[in-house]
Structure 1
Amino acid sequence: MRIALLLLAGLFSLTAQAAPAPVATFDRSHWPEQLDSPALFDVASRAEILGFARVLGESEKLDQGALAARLNLRQVNLLSINSVRQRLWQRLWRNYDLAQKSCEQDASFCYAIDDLADFRKQTASFEVAADSFYAGWVEPGRAFHEHYLNELLRKAALFPQTASEIERFSDLERNGDELNDRLFLLTFDGGPSLAGGSTDGLTEFLRRQRLGATFFVLGNNLQNRRDKTSLAELRALYKGQCVGLQGWQYRSHGQWQGWQDSVLRSQARVQGDLPEQYVPLFRPPYGQRRADSQAFFASQHLQVVLWDIDAQDQGPLSSEQSAQRVLTLMLLWRKGLIQFHDAQPKAQEVVAWLLKQTAQSGIGWEDCRNFGEKS
């Protein structure tokens, strides 16, 4: 009977999910201004917030069948989708309220909005005139917002049967929402690379920029790296950085029977090898973890850390496409944890591009040690 149920669950998973659509990308050349001041960052941020809010509102007019068809799914969890929508509305209004504080310096995309109800009403009729300075942004921006919303709603539609970063299981999990406005944290998954690989160049680059990032490492990768080099070289690799854990191997910790052992082994390895860089943070591969896992993590003095901005640097996007996606999401969410993969050579190129594009924008980079030691 148990085998039959497992087979049926697997069959449902295959029929409920189809291949996801290509990830959202946006060519920033469609935006006519450089983000070379805090006020211009806010102008672009207000535009992204209003544009995304409009397509979010339009999606609420779809019935369950139309929504499933749009997301290329057989079934959707409408309760989960509505919960995510409600959270998105709250955050969009909060972000817009912050972004409109500079309206006296530049009134572009500024409206007299005092609360969430007014915000929803305004965004429902949001338009940009055909002769506007920003007219060239409208259609490419709308396409990005629709594709990105589909990404979020698809994850919501599958949650919690397929866990992801779209929702927290408890307030003990962190996703960057607690950061201050305009503050971002660089995070990297799946490393370290082989000796002389992309992790080496990236950590050296970050040190030159006087930046500290959080690296969520795999226990087997860390052990192989140490065995083929030395403990001293491993510690030099992560000098000035923070190191959390991602389990012993890059595998879903949602259904794996050995997930607890994976966490404990990797925790012991990181604490033992990198005591100065260790931070008590765990990032689940693919964002997948058990809904009832919080007691275990609390017993190990670990916090689950998700993300809210993904670079999609493991897929087919070029480094420039990945960078422009991240910057657009930074404008939309105004703070958060950015997920990269340091085993991907493009990660350093993306970070370098972002630093150049935002140098005068008034944003900041959260200190990884400060973030990692918060309880």
Structure 2
Amino acid sequence: MRIAGALLATLLSLAAQAAPIPPASLDRSLWPEQLDSPALFDVASRAEILSFARVLHESELLDDAALAARLGLRQINLQKIRAVRAQMWQRLWLGYQQAQLSCEQDASFCYLLESMADLRTTAATFATDVGKFYTGWIEPSYQFHARYLDEQLRKAALLGQTSSEVERLSSRERNGDELNDRMFLLTFVGGPAPAGGSTDALTRYLRKQKLQATFFVLGTRLQQRRDAGPANALGQLYAGQCVGIQGWEYRSHAQWQGWQDSIRQAQAQVQADLPAQYVPLFRPPYGQRRADGEAFMASQQLQVSLWDIDAQDDGPLSAEASAQRVVTLMLLWRKGVIQLHDTLPKAQPALEWLLRSTAQSGIGWEGCHDYAQRQ
């Protein structure tokens, strides 16, 4: 029976990951202004918030069957979808209020919105009065947000069957929503790459830019790097950065009977090899973890660190398209945890494009140790 149950769980997990929606990206050159001041960041932010709100509003008009068909699923968890939508509306409303603070400097996309109900009403007719200056942006933005919303709602529809980063399962889980407005945390997963590879180049680049990131490592790959190099190589690799864990191997911890051993082993490895860089954060592969894991995490003094801005750099998007996706989501959510893959060569050029595009925008980068110490 145990074997049959495990096989069923595996099949359900595979079904949940089957036929993924192609990742969304938006060509930022379609936006007619550079993000070269805090006020212009707010203009673009207000526009993306209203564009996404329009798509979110339209999705609520679909009946269950139409929504399931749109998401490519036979069955959907409507209760979870409604909860995720409600969280999105709350973040949009709070974000728009922050973005309105600069309306005296530039009134573009400034509407007299005094409640979330006002936001919903304005979103419903948003595309009708954006002005000629922004007409080249409005439809591509609409298409981006429709696809991005489908990505998120598809994950919400599968909650209860497959956990993901769109839902926090306990009070020990964080996703970046606790950050201050305009603050972002860089995170990288899946590493380290072999010696001399993309992780080495990326950490050097971060130090040159005086930036910090949290690297969530796999125990097996860290062990391989340690055994293949001199004793101080890992400390030099991650100097100035933070290192959390993803477990011993890149495998879903939701149905894995050895998930606790995976976390313990990886944690002990990082604590021993990188005591100065270690932070007590666990990034679950695929965002999948157990709903009953809170007590274990507390016993290990760990917190689950999720993300809310995914570069999708491990798929078909180019480095620039991944960066453009990230910038659009930064404008939309105005704060959050960004996820990239340091084992992939696309990560560094994507980061370089991202930093160039936001250098004068007034955003800030959260210190990785500061984030780890947040309660």
On whether the aligned pair clears a TM of 0.5, the verdict is yes
List alignment gaps of at least 5 residues for structure 2: none
Please give the secondary structure, in 1, of the residue aligned with 2:157. helix
CA displacement 1:188-225 (0-9 Å, x = unmatched): 00100000000000000000000110000001100100
Q: CA deviation at 1:160?
A: 2.5
Does the 8 Å CA contact 1:18/1:72 hold for their aligned counterparts?
no
Q: What amino acid does structure 1 have at the position aligned with 2:220? A: N
Please give the secondary structure, in 2, of the residue aligned with 1:301. coil
> Where does residue 294 of structure 2 map in the other structure?
294
Q: How does 1:231-270 map to 2 (within 5 A)?
A: 231-270=231-270
Please give the secondary structure, in 1, of the residue aligned with 2:244. strand
Does the 8 Å CA contact 1:17/1:72 hold for their aligned counterparts?
no
CA displacement 1:22-53 (0-9 Å, x = unmatched): 11111111100000000000000000000000
Give the TM-score normalised by structure 1. 0.97
In structure 2, C-alpha distance between the alignment counterparts of 1:14 and 1:212, rounded to whole Å: 35
In structure 2, C-alpha distance between the alignment counterparts of 1:246 and 1:333, rounded to whole Å: 25
> Where does residue 70 of structure 1 map in the other structure?
70
> Where does residue 59 of structure 1 map in the other structure?
59
In structure 2, C-alpha distance between the alignment counterparts of 1:302 and 1:131, rounded to whole Å: 50
Does the 8 Å CA contact 2:152/2:166 hold for their aligned counterparts?
yes
Q: CA deviation at 1:126?
A: 1.1
> Where does residue 84 of structure 1 map in the other structure?
84
> Where does residue 118 of structure 2 map in the other structure?
118
Please give the secondary structure, in 1, of the residue aligned with 2:49. helix
List alignment gaps of at least 5 residues for structure 1: none
Give the TM-score normalised by structure 2. 0.97
> Where does residue 281 of structure 1 map in the other structure?
281
> Where does residue 167 of structure 2 map in the other structure?
167
In structure 2, C-alpha distance between the alignment counterparts of 1:29 and 1:334, rounded to whole Å: 20
Q: What amino acid does structure 2 have at the position aligned with 1:353? A: W
CA displacement 1:82-105 (0-9 Å, x = unmatched): 000011000000000100111111
In structure 2, C-alpha distance between the alignment counterparts of 1:216 and 1:42, rounded to whole Å: 31
CA 1:206/1:15 → structure 2, altered by over 3 Å: closer, same or farther? closer
Identity of aligned pairs, percent?
68
The CA RMSD over aligned residues, in Å, is: 1.4
In structure 1, C-alpha distance between the alignment counterparts of 2:342 and 2:212, rounded to whole Å: 14
CA 1:327/1:15 → structure 2, altered by over 3 Å: closer, same or farther? closer
CA 1:131/1:97 → structure 2, altered by over 3 Å: closer, same or farther? closer
1:209 aligns with 2:204: no
CA 1:12/1:214 → structure 2, altered by over 3 Å: closer, same or farther? closer
CA 1:57/1:363 → structure 2, altered by over 3 Å: closer, same or farther? same
Does the 8 Å CA contact 1:218/1:246 hold for their aligned counterparts?
yes
* Runs of 4+ displaced beyond 2 Å: 1-18, 128-131
Q: CA deviation at 1:130?
A: 7.4
Provide the aligned length of Structure 1 versus Structure 2: 375
Q: What amino acid does structure 2 have at the position aligned with 1:229? A: G
In structure 1, C-alpha distance between the alignment counterparts of 2:96 and 2:205, rounded to whole Å: 34
CA displacement 1:104-144 (0-9 Å, x = unmatched): 11110010001111111111121244752001001100000
1:181 aligns with 2:176: no
In structure 1, C-alpha distance between the alignment counterparts of 2:10 and 2:200, rounded to whole Å: 40
CA displacement 1:145-169 (0-9 Å, x = unmatched): 1000000000000012101101000
